[in-house]
Amino acid sequence: MTKSRLLIVHVQRGFVNDKTRHVPDRVAALQESFDAVIITRFYNPQKSLHRKLIGEAGFAVGAAAGQLAFTPRADARICDVPTYGVDTPFIEELRTDTAPRVHLCGIATETAVLAAAIALFSAGIEPVVLGHACGSDQSLALHDAALQILKRAIGARQVIGS
């Protein structure tokens, strides 16, 4: 039997603002619609490129900004990641699982969600982006642009609820 999977990307207190305040409640509600829930939680190591190239100094391990902005369901798997989206071991685990498709949502559409969706697509795992449960902490224009780029990159039918 194929399990339905939801990947919730970087829905953390430090990314929630007036542009993304809708996301935590939407992802919390979505959890019960899937057989399995996987959550990524971004952390920012001292010598990361996020610090060096982008100037992002927040999200140190244990910082309040890194705490989830919603309550994960009891059986959710939480993966701490030092980058956008998902890493290679995570992708390899999904490949060996019975999940030919993964639904995604989260913050920020233009970086972390986009990176995760393209990584899944490149690995042969079908991504479905739930646009209504995504947001950009920078601007609605970046969120909308990312959804358009995703429609081109992974297929228009793979981006729903936008």
pLDDT digits (tens, 9 = 90+) for 54-75: 888 888 888 899 999 999 999 9
Q: What is the mean pLDDT of the chain?
A: 90
List, for residues 93-147, the tens digit of each pLDDT value: 777 666 678 999 999 999 999 999 999 999 889 999 999 999 999 999 999 999 9
pLDDT at 83 over 90: no
Domain borders along the chain are: 5-160
Q: Is the pTM of this model over 0.85?
A: yes
Classified by CATH at the fold level, domain 5-160 comes out as Rossmann fold (3.40.50)
Give Dmax over CA atoms of the chain in angstroms. 45
pLDDT at 96: 66
Q: Rounded mean pLDDT of 27-32? A: 96
Q: Give pLDDT, residue 114.
A: 97
Q: How far apart are CA 162 and CA 160, in angstroms?
A: 6
Cβ-based neighbours of 3, under 8 Å, separated by 6 or more: 35, 36, 97, 98, 99
Q: How confident is the model at residue 1 (pLDDT cuts 50, 70, 90)?
A: very low
**Cβ-based neighbours of 40, under 8 Å, separated by 6 or more:** 7, 8, 9, 10, 78, 79, 80, 81, 85, 86, 106, 112, 116
Q: Which two tokens stand for residue 124?
A: 């042969």
Mean of pLDDT values over 13-32: 96
How far CA 110 is from CA of 12, 75, 84, in Å, comes to: 16, 28, 10
